[in-house]
Structure 1
Amino acid sequence: MAYWLVKSEPDECGIDDFAAKPDDTIPWDGVRNYQARNFLAKMAPGDEVFLYHSSCKQIGVAGVIRVVLAAYPDPLQFDPDSSYYDARSSPEKPRWQAVDMQFVEKFRGVVPLQTLKSQPELSELPLVRRGARLSVMPVSDSEWRHILSLAARQ
């Protein structure tokens, strides 16, 4: 099993969307960065994922979701009515991936970005590095455990 972190604006897809339908899956689609897409392609069922809320009042890690369906061609890339449409993509040669995820846990409070940045144990996490803007990134075992311990203190 691997660990990941994904970013989303909570009004687009946040931990409350997952918590509202804990038995349902939600597609993680619309990723339009090649490195983030490559990370999505490496996700496997059972991998656990921190859901990070960005561009909102309480920025930080809000909870845990789990990959339930490995990467498949993102259907939004083929939909001309979607803002994620890619005219250079075709069903024969898709450019973008999606995965399906499901709710695991909502933290009592968001683990704020400032708290994450202040932790020496997280200094290698791409999220806290200057200039890092990826929406999907790997998390090491030790980083995963440390963030969980921070969440338990919320």
Structure 2
Amino acid sequence: MYTDTYSREEMAKRIAEGRKFDNAVIISFYDTVGCEPLDCSGISDDVFYIKADDLDIYDLNDMGITVYDYFPDSIKLAQFIIKAHENGKNIICQCEYGQGRSAGCLAAIREYFLHDGISVFADYIYTPNKIIYNELIHELRRQGGMMNEQTNRS
């Protein structure tokens, strides 16, 4: 499984050039205010869009919202990722700069499947969003555990 992150600018360029990803799904984060999602449908057959600002726990506390309010799509995203992996797909994560939300997502994916998510945190070009990471790794483990139990019962 190949994984990578892209910034909004890099992804927009790829869309403009019509360069499709081979055998890949895209997870595209976009801001809640003043930003529309990039239409990635021309470069991937399967795209999961997530409307979420790049916030940390202090921002959420100041706003009076919980991590669940901030990232309600974590359950569906985990299901999307597990299905993509089962189908042998590569996974591309994209956010505004390709360093925060997408890096948190990438780290969770790599930790769950490859056990090397720490490499994303250790890389100086990334500043992984810890809320995205923590919520997604939790859901991947929960969903994966459920899937393993179902498989064992069959």
TM-score per shorter chain, which class? under 0.3
TM-score, length-normalised on structure 2?
0.26
Specify which structure has the higher proportion of helix: 2
Give 1 or 2: higher strand fraction: 1
